[in-house]
Amino acid sequence: MNFKLSPNFGSYRATRHSFKIFLTWSTIVIVKPCEEIPNHSLRFSFIPSGKLQRHDENVFLDVIGEIVGMNDLKEITIRNAPSKLLNVQTQEP
């Protein structure tokens, strides 16, 4: 299986739903109409597979949504190691 469902806890939530889905790099999502499963609340924005690139800092695929705001990149220290923090604001598509 290449996805996992988990309770949606924590201070950062990508959705208001009580569960969240984790997709792996090998997960492929396609549009498939199904009358038995209502999906009126699902609004996915699909990215053509040719645009999916691993290890590309210009491609942000961890959250489904549209980036509407972004702060400057900050250099921070986490667990005594340097790291970078980029704060972005998203909205549902």
Judged against a pLDDT cut of 60, whether residue 55 lies above it is answered with no
Q: Look at strands 81-85 and 88-91 and give their pairing.
A: unpaired
Which residues of the chain form beta strands (DSSP E)? Answer: 3-7, 19-23, 66-70, 74-78, 81-85, 88-91
pLDDT per position as a tens digit, 8-39: 887 666 667 788 777 777 777 777 777 776 66
Q: What is the pLDDT of residues 62-79, one digit of tens each?
A: 556 677 888 888 998 988
